[in-house]
Amino acid sequence: MKHTFKLLFMLGAIVLPSSMFAQSTTILESFAQFDCHSANSGTFTKHISMRIDNKRGLSDGNFVCACSSHRDLKKFAGTVTDANGKVVKKIKRSDLTRTEYSSSLASDDYAFYYEAEVPASYPITITYDWEVEYSHHLNAYPSFFPIPGYEIAVDTASYTIIQRPENTLTYRVLNFSPDIKVTEADGNRRRIEFSIGHVSHMDKQAWGPSFSDRAPQVILSPLSFDWNNTHCDMSDWHSFGSWINELNSGRQKLTPEVVSRLHQATDTCTTLRSKVKAARKLLGNMTRYVSIQLGIGGYQTATAEDVCKNGIGDCKALSNCFCAMLHEIGLPAVYTLIALNDRHLIKDMPNFTQLNHVIVQVPLPGDTLWVECTNDIYPTDYRHNGMCGHDVVLIHPTGGELQTIPEYADSLNLHQVFADIELSADGSAHISYRESNLNSQFETLCNLTRIPTKDQQKVLLNRIACSNPTINDMKIQSDGACIDYKLDLHSGAFCKWSNNRIFLPLTLNPFYPLQNTKEEAHIIDLMGEGKLRESTIRYRIPEGYTVDSKLDPLRIDSPFGSFTRHMLIEDGYLVIRDTYLMRSGIYPEDQFAEWIAFRKALVDSSKKKVILKAVGV
């Protein structure tokens, strides 16, 4: 007998709550504890038991433990039980695979991992118990991350830290409100326990905030620590910055050869900005990015001299070397820490959890540059998407200072399109197409000049909606944070001709149909998405044809942006001018339906056509 199952949708009106979508995994219980033994050591133990309901959740059952020279896995045990509670597998320490592989050239880090096996049936429950010994220094405590990923619900989770008097620490709670219990423990120690009950799973949101902006978490940090004969005061960013400065002091000596080349390259520059650019160009010519994360060298930069000699460095080393170069030519430069994945640092708690990159601030009079030193695909004076709007920590000799890198105004992220189109009787078209892309729009194409010609053609043709395209000529020009290109195209079946009528598309860069329109309403995060697109398309109206459609203007307005279209006939051309402005920002969840409606209106605008009709018909 044939069974069917039926899903009913009314047009865009029904929003199905996320509880309708089963999560893949539920953490039944998660208990973690960090027991401090001294100012520099402690033991971390964790017990986690999770139920995996289907194959999508199987990877949640993988075990990974990151270790290093001061963090070692001491004990481990795991079990897998079936739906009836029967133990189907015991996982021993010897079942774990150890790997030292890293993306760096060299690193102290290693990891133990275990891949959960496909079970005979779902659900299964996987339980892990393990213990990690921390030694030598405690510059960070493990965070409390009760929900480790999307589609994972939690029934109960807790994290306890047992402090000794010498372990001063502080913490910040983000995105949830756990129960927090502070009690005294034996031996003059203090116990802080964070706990939560049931938390529903999180679904990925197409236009929502990032996982780390949503996920419940407690980040803990010592107020100070000692490492390799240095002492770091973590009470604020200022003192933290002092430690970084101390670690890196005395490391800015350049080789004489580089000093000579630097002056050769910059002494004749007439403006400060051009000096900075020339110095950056030299850095790019003489170095490449290779990461080396060993010991305290994971936080301490390699010397500028080593970078000069080897031509190799990671973000720390290259940024430090660049600072040294600018200082050599009398320009200010500040070693700057940033979190590429988090826009906002915890303002009142320095921590190692968030920071993951280094750039250079160049505070010129009336003009501050933020320079990416690891990749010269970004122009010297361009602020890329990983830094715009992000908090940073400037490392001055006097200490650290928090600042925020400004974003570009939406209208400065400019995408301009010009197309002149000549139609042929067979529906084909000759298109002279030009684009100009500035700032964030440049960034989407910044690699273009570095890929093979065939791949360039693929990338550019993917940006234009026309059928059976052939490129006759292509020119690409890049200057600073602007990339322009011209294409001379033939499109085989560009428009539809049907018995004395021609159907002309009104855009060559349509808005594509949406997915995820039925998500539960949520905050709309459009930070960094602001842009202005201006498109002008001119069709030469073929002889014997006239415009047979109304050329009414179109306007779509919303809090998120606006779209306008104007059409006119000018000197034998049908001219279509579109302007689309998207406003960067964070919008409340009660505007979600309006957001979907706005996007749908944009998609609909792309589908419209103008009809030309043969005269006398």
Partner 1 sequence: MKAFWIASFCLLLASTRVFAFEKNIKLGNPTNEELSLVSYDEDPDAEAICLYHGTTVDFRLTDQGLKAEYHYKIRIKVLKPEGVDWGNAEIIYYNSSKSTNKETVTGVKGTSYNLENGKVVKSKLNSDLKSDEMLNNHNHVYKFSLPNVKVGSVIEYEYRIESDFFHLIRDWYAQMSIPVRYAEFVITVPEFLKFSKLMTGVYPMEHKFTSSKYPVTTSNGQVLLNADIEEYWAENLPKMVKEDYIHSINDYKSHIIYDLEMLCFPGSRVQNFNNSWTNVDKMLLEDDKFGDLFKMKNPMPEFGVFLSIDEINDKKTEKAGEITLIDLSACGNTKEKVEVLRRAMRKKIKWNGKYGIYGMNTRQMLKESSVNAAALNFALMAILRDAGIQAVPVVLSRRSQGRISSAHAEIGALNAMVLQVRDGDQTFYVDAANDDFPVGTLHPDLLVEYARVVAPNRFEWVDISKCCKANVMQFVNATLDEDGNLNGMLMRRHRGILCGVSRNNYNNKKDSLTHVEKLAANLDCEITDYRVGDFASSAETYTDSIFFTKQVDADGESIYINPYLFVDMKSPFKTATRELPIECDCMVGEKHSIKIQIPEGYVAESCPKPISLRLEDGKTSCKIVTQVTPEEINVSISYNRDTMFYDTATFENLRSFWTTIEDACNSIIVLKK
Dist. CA 414–CA 484, nearest whole Å: 11
Supply the minimum distance, in Å, between the C-beta of residue 442 and partner 1: 17
Mark 464-503 with x for binding to partner 1 (rule: CB under 8 A) and - for no binding. Answer: ---xxxx---------------------xx--xxxxxx-x
Q: Which is nearer to partner 1, 163 or 291 (CB)?
A: 291
Q: Which residues on neighbouring strands pair with residue 111, listed in sequence order?
A: 66, 99
Token duo for residue 579: 């302007």
Residue list 48-77, contact with partner 1 (CB under 8 A): 55-56
> Residues 61, 119, 400, 530: which binds partner 1 (CB under 8 A)?
119
Supply the minimum distance, in Å, between the C-beta of residue 101 and partner 1: 5
Confirm or reject binding of residue 463 to partner 1 (CB under 8 A). Answer: no
Confirm or reject binding of residue 90 to partner 1 (CB under 8 A). Answer: no
Alpha helices of 388-450 — where are they, by DSSP H? Answer: 440-443
> Residues 44, 63, 76, 110: which binds partner 1 (CB under 8 A)?
110
Supply the minimum distance, in Å, between the C-beta of residue 125 and partner 1: 13
Token duo for residue 32: 């973690």
Confirm or reject binding of residue 249 to partner 1 (CB under 8 A). Answer: no
Short-list 534, 377, 380, 389, CA closest to 442: 377
Q: Which is nearer to partner 1, 181 or 309 (CB)?
A: 309
Supply the minimum distance, in Å, between the C-beta of residue 448 and partner 1: 12
Stretch touching partner 1 by CB under 8 A, among 96-104, 364-372, 397-405, 438-446: 96-104
Supply the minimum distance, in Å, between the C-beta of residue 285 and partner 1: 6
Dist. CA 282–CA 261, nearest whole Å: 8
Contact 371, 320 (CB under 8 A): no
Query: Hey, what long-range contacts does 230-237 have (CB within 8 A, 24 or more apart)?
Result: 230/296, 232/139, 234/350, 234/351, 236/348, 236/350, 236/400, 237/345, 237/350, 237/393, 237/399, 237/400, 237/401, 237/402
Short-list 529, 396, 415, CA closest to 464: 415
Inter-CA distances, 136 with 260, 456, 484, Å:
42, 51, 54
Stretch touching partner 1 by CB under 8 A, among 239-247, 309-317, 397-405, 521-529: 309-317
DSSP 170-183: EEEEESS--EEEEE
Q: Which is nearer to partner 1, 329 or 495 (CB)?
A: 495
Dist. CA 342–CA 143, nearest whole Å: 16
Dist. CA 11–CA 413, nearest whole Å: 34
Confirm or reject binding of residue 376 to partner 1 (CB under 8 A). Answer: yes
Instruction: Give the position of tokens 């000759």.
Output: 430
> Residues 458, 475, 572, 586: which binds partner 1 (CB under 8 A)?
458
Confirm or reject binding of residue 97 to partner 1 (CB under 8 A). Answer: yes
Q: Which is nearer to partner 1, 352 or 511 (CB)?
A: 511
Supply the minimum distance, in Å, between the C-beta of residue 497 and partner 1: 8
Confirm or reject binding of residue 106 to partner 1 (CB under 8 A). Answer: yes
Residue list 182-241, contact with partner 1 (CB under 8 A): none
Token duo for residue 107: 């690193």
Q: What is the DSSP letter of 199?
A: B
Q: Which is nearer to partner 1, 36 or 308 (CB)?
A: 308
Supply the minimum distance, in Å, between the C-beta of residue 494 and partner 1: 9
Q: How many residues does the chain have?
A: 617
Residue list 498-557, contact with partner 1 (CB under 8 A): 498-501, 503, 512-518, 549
Residue list 381-420, contact with partner 1 (CB under 8 A): none
Residue list 258-297, contact with partner 1 (CB under 8 A): 284-288, 290
Q: Which is nearer to partner 1, 334 or 574 (CB)?
A: 574
Alpha helices of 299-420 — where are they, by DSSP H? Answer: 304-310, 315-328
CA 424 to chain CA mean position, Å: 45
Torsions phi, psi of 487, nearest 5?
Answer: -125, 135
Q: Which is nearer to partner 1, 345 or 574 (CB)?
A: 574
Supply the minimum distance, in Å, between the C-beta of residue 293 and partner 1: 11
User: Omega of the bond prior to 559 within 30 degrees of 0, cis?
Assistant: no
Residue list 311-350, contact with partner 1 (CB under 8 A): 311-312
Confirm or reject binding of residue 7 to partner 1 (CB under 8 A). Answer: yes
Q: Which is nearer to partner 1, 66 or 451 (CB)?
A: 451
Stretch touching partner 1 by CB under 8 A, among 114-122, 128-136, 181-189, 406-414: 114-122
Supply the minimum distance, in Å, between the C-beta of residue 130 and partner 1: 19
Contact 429, 466 (CB under 8 A): yes
Dist. CA 280–CA 381, nearest whole Å: 10
Torsions phi, psi of 485, nearest 5?
Answer: -145, 155
